[in-house]
Amino acid sequence: MEKVWLSSPHMGEMERKFVAEAFDTNWVSPVGPHIGAFEKELAEYAGIGHCAALSSGTAAIHLALILLGIKGGDEVVCSSFTFSGSCNPIAYVGATPVFVDSEEVTWNMDPVLLEECIKDRLSKTGKKPSAIILVHLYGMPADVEAIMKTARAHSIPVIEDAAEALGSTYGGKALGTFGDLGVYSFNGNKIITTSGGGALISENAEWIAKARFLATQARDPAPHYQHSEIGYNYRLSNICAGIGRGQLMVLDERVHQRRRNFDAYLDGLSDLKGVSFPAEPDSAYANRWLTTILIDPEKAGTNRVEVAAALEKENIESRPLWKPMHLQPVFQSAPAYSRGVSERLFETGLCLPSGSNLPEGDRDRVIRLVRDCWK
């Protein structure tokens, strides 16, 4: 049977138009008019002043850490329940990640544990963490108000990783715009894609200008190639930016389609014993990038491994929830503050096919196959 993907790219006609325009005008190099236009349009959509289009969300986090002056000997607090791209850049700059567990409602960073973490690091090391990387997982807004209150009380800058959360809001305001710097990803499986790419946003114009400079190999303004500091090849190409412009035009529709998938799964599976879905807090509007479920093996009589195997047998892709970073071998020596929430989520959670281009018939088949695991 034809493969049912977890979250495949969803292309339209405007993407073709903008890419063709790049070819017709020979703007196929890493620079070109689509880049500036995409940055402007994305900043306007998010309601923020400035944006740098980059090669990935991970590159955006790396540059954000550099802009904040994070270096060896510093500690950076990061959500543990996330993809490695959120925390690998901490190692790039020689700093130490300090992982904080999730809370039960949104599955994002626990504000109470964050406060405990900051105070404990201060008592153990004599200094507070140098930055906080807050992740909005699967498009679900974290408890932004509580976390930002704690960060501001301790004067710690926040990098807001909204890689999975473009189109989500908290209190009506776009995610990515609460922190000192915000990050988006346009990887192939995200809610919109540039085939591969990301963005760094901020109200600080100097930071974004410096990010663009660093992202283009930090070439000094000289008539020859001159470099006074280390730079990176992190700029988004003009062709990819053209794809992004077309995708951005249908972002709200894509959010609606993803939320419709979630509603269908909720309607079709919530009556099964041992199945639960993440609820949307009153202040939150989630893009529902991926629909996720928890399966309690004791109540369900099955588990997420068996359900995933049943789907795979029918050529349907699913995926476990993220394995917490504090359990990853590469970060086994990093400090971690956990109450076991993310471990339980990892052991019992499953991501279901959630693409905005998922046919209704395929979605119904997923629901039927999942239900069969209970029979």
Q: Taking residues 315-335, what's their average pLDDT?
A: 98
Choose one of 222, 250, 278: the last residue of a domain.
Answer: 250
Closest CA to 54 of 221, 205, 233: 233
Same domain, 200 and 299: no
Give the domain CATH number at 311: 3.90.1150.10
Same domain, 107 and 226: yes
Please give the model's pTM, rounded to 2 decimal places. 0.96
54 DSSP β-pair partners: 198, 235
Structure confidence by residue, pLDDT tens digits, 132-182:
999 999 999 999 999 999 999 999 999 999 999 999 999 999 999 999 999
Structure confidence by residue, pLDDT tens digits, 189-244:
999 999 999 999 999 999 999 999 999 999 999 999 999 999 999 999 999 999 99
Choose one of 189, 221, 250: the last residue of a domain.
Answer: 250
Residue 164 falls inside a structural domain:
yes
Residue 1 falls inside a structural domain:
no
pLDDT at 116 over 90: yes
Same domain, 264 and 135: no
Same domain, 218 and 364: no
Q: Write out the residue range of the structural domain in which residue 213 sits.
A: 13-250
Residue 272 falls inside a structural domain:
yes
R_g (Cα) of the chain, nearest Å: 21
Choose one of 250, 267, 295: the last residue of a domain.
Answer: 250
Give the domain CATH number at 182: 3.40.640.10
Q: Are the C-beta atoms of residues 47 and 173 closer than 8 Å to each other?
A: yes
Same domain, 42 and 157: yes
Same domain, 79 and 203: yes
Q: Residue 45: how many CB atoms within 10 A of its CB?
A: 16
Residue 27 falls inside a structural domain:
yes
Same domain, 120 and 213: yes
Q: Taking residues 262-279, what's their average pLDDT?
A: 98
DSSP assignments along 134-150, one per residue: EE-GGG----HHHHHHH
Same domain, 281 and 231: no
pLDDT of residue 30: 77
pLDDT of residue 239: 95
